[in-house]
Structure 1
Amino acid sequence: MDLRLRTISRDEHTAFVDSLPSASHMQVPSWGEVKPDWRPESLGWFDETGRITGTALVLHRPLPKLKRSLAYLPEGPLIDWYDHDLGRWLTPLLGHLKGQGAFSVKMGPPVVARRWDAATVKDAVADPDAHRLGEVEPTEQDPRAFALMDRLRTMGWQQSGGDSEEGFAAGQPRHVFQLPLADRSLDDILSGFNQLWRRNIKKAEKAGVKVVQGDYADLETFYALYTETAERDRFIPRPLAYFQRMWKALTAEDPDRMRLYLAAHDGEVLAAATMLTVGGHVWYSYGASTSRRREVQPNNAIQWQMIRDAHALGAHVYDFRGTTDTLDESNHLLGLLRFKVGTGGQAAEYVGEWDFPLNKVLHKAFQLYMARR
């Protein structure tokens, strides 16, 4: 049965996302306002009754001096990825985007292929013969995800270059760490934490660390800690304006779409973090902390408060976002993986991002340009 694709209004788009159990925060209409260098477009698939059956937020990035653009669907589109006839979804999408001047389409199906429980990851980290998580036997895997990847290849889609040597994809992270919350009490969730996590939470409580929600004005406090974190952890920070734009756009769409948390001790903010929510999926988005007074464990305190609030919202998963695939002790990201594993959650691997070159020459030139950056 064929589907009809057309542009849709913001209200139509939001209503469909709100009808789903969860969706990526990068597939809500407001996310297009967070990226000023991209032109956002909301698309909808309609069945024969006129009902919306899927949506996509497309971000168009124009090439300088050319009337061509890259069409990017981060962690989307929101369609039935297990439909054996994927062509009825993707063929009209490619046709529409080609008509919009796209030279290439990049998408990230929100489909998990494999999972590793915390015990498996912990054992892998301790195993000197294990070098990458992908080489470790998963706790569970979904054959439908591998069938999907075969289907995409048959249709001419190309899997993006995989993870970088540090374990993060060039676009959205392929490997993430998630803490299941569905049908679990807070006591059950806490008991799943390792001994170090539980001890650090108690240390923070005993020391008098207070975790509160901030507002737009507190983004400057967050940003001061964030830039300190960037220097310490060797990454390039986003500008303050990015977070201010994100706050305004997301909270205008839904007051709970984005929250800011601050952890203070004796009047000094030691850690801060942003939390995003769409349906039953909650993400720990950005975190920041100072090196001062680490002994009072503000990072554990802020995470525990965010997890409790996610649970109170009825979330079924608390998502720590990207994690490294490498298990090499020399990799500075391994400590972050250990921190997340301490919650007793699961490492998850998505099917990754996929490209469809509509103009092979421009697509290749763009790939070379990105590789040299």
Structure 2
Amino acid sequence: MPLHLHESHDPRAFNAAVAALPLSNPLQGWGYGEARRVLGQQPRRFLIRNDQGSTVGALQLLRKPLVPGVSVLYAPRGPALESLDLLPDLAAPLRTLARRTDAYLKVEPPKPVEVGRPDDLITEDFEADQATIPESIGPFRRSQTEQPEHTILADLSLSEDDMFAGLHKMARRNVRTADRMGVEAGRDDDFEAFWEIFSATNERAQLGSFPRAYYEALRDAGNQFGGETYTVLSRHEGKALAGGFFLGLGDTTAYLYGGSIRDERPPTTGDKRKDAKAPDAFYWNAMLDAKEHGYGTFDFWGVPRRLDESKHSFGVFKMKLKFSTHRVWFPAYDLRLSPLAQPLVKALRVRKDLLNKRTRGTTDDIL
């Protein structure tokens, strides 16, 4: 089926198209692309139409310079599409966008691949998962993702009672404990409190982060043209102890950044301050808030590809798994545009391994 790319310069119309498509993600929203300008990346947006003039997709494409004279094109969790069957037909019009400096084009189709493992089990079945993921979609070849490839989703269309009943028993207990201890969690515009939590978590887990200006740009740009950015904080006795930054568009909200800190304040009574279970209150109330604001899907945004109990990421995985056991994959695919593509991908992997080794003492990725 011939497909045609029509460049869009109307932020609200573009976001409306992204939000309406069945395969979609907030990272395809206009604001996310605007924020990436802070990192030196240049966005372009296109509506995808068929020969009849019907809009069957939308694409936000970032050009990312790597070194002088070499760049790549990247569709973060995109393109948004009516059907994944359309992706092979996009190869030809996408090639027309490439410059001589573009080595390859990476897409991350927002169609989850189900893993099919039993619910409520922390099991490692990586090879079985990989067998369910296609190695190619037309001329697009499986590659490494930029966004977390393995994640957990929660269905917000259920009633609140059914959602709570679906939590792990430990989560239900901790949420009740937090409530008894007076923990308050919900939308909170205190960006400084979020930043304190986020920075402390990154330092503790050696995660790394972008410059603060990027997150501020995303906060502002993502909250326009029908998209939404917001922070949820969990407070005990006024102190923010857990929180996260969310980006929402259409049916989905994504928990992109966040963390938690210990409560180091002196206890009000007794010899030791009790654990108020603020992270559990954060997750549960973030889900309730998303449901209240009309979202149907809550994306926890990243759990480890391979489970390793010795890593910080395993603890994060266990926490998220208490709130939903729906584990899925979002694989990436590359369209090669230059003979440089394959050696460049290998070189980038080597560079990432060296960076991991220098910062955390291991070549393994965080997720």
> Taking structure 1 as the reference length, what is the TM-score of the superposition?
0.83
Whole-Å separation in 2 of the counterparts to 1:137 and 1:49? 38
Partner of 1:307: 287
Whole-Å separation in 2 of the counterparts to 1:296 and 1:206? 9
CA displacement at 1:137 relative to structure 2? 7.4
Change beyond 3 A, Cα 1:75–1:288: same
Whole-Å separation in 1 of the counterparts to 2:97 and 2:209? 32
Partner of 2:56: 53
Q: Identify which of 31, 41, 44 aligns with 1:41.
A: 44
Change beyond 3 A, Cα 1:134–1:259: same
The answer to whether the aligner puts 1:202 opposite 2:176 as a matched pair is yes
Whole-Å separation in 1 of the counterparts to 2:111 and 2:324? 22
Indicate conservation of the 8 Å contact 1:81/1:109, yes or no.
Answer: no
Whole-Å separation in 1 of the counterparts to 2:129 and 2:89? 35
Whole-Å separation in 2 of the counterparts to 1:151 and 1:275? 30
Task: Count residues with an aligned counterpart.
Answer: 340
Change beyond 3 A, Cα 1:63–1:321: closer
Change beyond 3 A, Cα 1:196–1:336: same
Change beyond 3 A, Cα 1:51–1:301: same
Change beyond 3 A, Cα 1:201–1:120: closer
**Secondary structure in structure 2 of the residue aligned to 1:251:** coil
| % identity of equivalent residues | 25
Partner of 1:159: 142
CA displacement at 1:276 relative to structure 2? 2.0
Q: Identify which of 306, 317, 335 aligns with 1:356.
A: 335
Partner of 1:104: 104
The answer to whether the aligner puts 1:285 opposite 2:268 as a matched pair is no
Aligned runs of 1:81-120 on 2, under 5 Å? 81-83=83-85, 86-94=87-95, 96-99=96-99, 101-116=101-116, 119=119
Indicate conservation of the 8 Å contact 1:10/1:42, yes or no.
Answer: no
**Secondary structure in structure 2 of the residue aligned to 1:321:** coil
Partner of 2:326: 346
Q: Identify which of 275, 282, 298 aligns with 2:278.
A: 298
Whole-Å separation in 2 of the counterparts to 1:211 and 1:106? 37
Whole-Å separation in 2 of the counterparts to 1:137 and 1:30? 33
Whole-Å separation in 2 of the counterparts to 1:78 and 1:175? 19
**Secondary structure in structure 1 of the residue aligned to 2:222:** helix
CA displacement at 1:82 relative to structure 2? 3.6
Aligned runs of 1:269-284 on 2, under 5 Å? 269-284=240-255
Indicate conservation of the 8 Å contact 1:117/1:346, yes or no.
Answer: no
CA displacement at 1:208 relative to structure 2? 0.8
Q: Any unmatched runs of 5+ in structure 2?
A: 264-272, 353-367
Whole-Å separation in 1 of the counterparts to 2:143 and 2:105? 11
Whole-Å separation in 2 of the counterparts to 1:108 and 1:301? 31
Partner of 2:162: 188
What root-mean-square deviation, in Å, do the aligned CA atoms of Structure 1 and Structure 2 show? 2.5
**Secondary structure in structure 2 of the residue aligned to 1:253:** coil
Deviations 1:215-246 (A, max 9, x none): 2xx21221111111112222113332222111
Partner of 2:31: 30
Letter in 1 for 2:317: L
Indicate conservation of the 8 Å contact 2:21/2:81, yes or no.
Answer: no
The answer to whether the aligner puts 1:177 opposite 2:152 as a matched pair is yes
Aligned runs of 1:106-255 on 2, under 5 Å? 106-116=106-116, 119=119, 121-122=121-122, 124=123, 132-135=124-127, 146=134, 149-152=135-138, 155=139, 157-161=140-144, 169=145, 171-182=146-157, 184-215=158-189, 218-254=190-226
Indicate conservation of the 8 Å contact 1:22/1:280, yes or no.
Answer: no
**Secondary structure in structure 1 of the residue aligned to 2:51:** coil
CA displacement at 1:114 relative to structure 2? 2.2
**Secondary structure in structure 2 of the residue aligned to 1:35:** helix
Change beyond 3 A, Cα 1:347–1:134: same
Letter in 2 for 1:223: W
Whole-Å separation in 2 of the counterparts to 1:117 and 1:191? 20
Deviations 1:261-291 (A, max 9, x none): 1222122121221122111112222122211
**Secondary structure in structure 2 of the residue aligned to 1:98:** coil
Letter in 2 for 1:196: M
Letter in 2 for 1:306: A
Whole-Å separation in 2 of the counterparts to 1:270 and 1:92? 48
The answer to whether the aligner puts 1:328 opposite 2:308 as a matched pair is yes
The answer to whether the aligner puts 1:16 opposite 2:17 as a matched pair is yes
Change beyond 3 A, Cα 1:29–1:193: same
> Taking structure 2 as the reference length, what is the TM-score of the superposition?
0.84
Whole-Å separation in 2 of the counterparts to 1:328 and 1:189? 28
Greater Cα shift, 191-200 or 233-242: 233-242
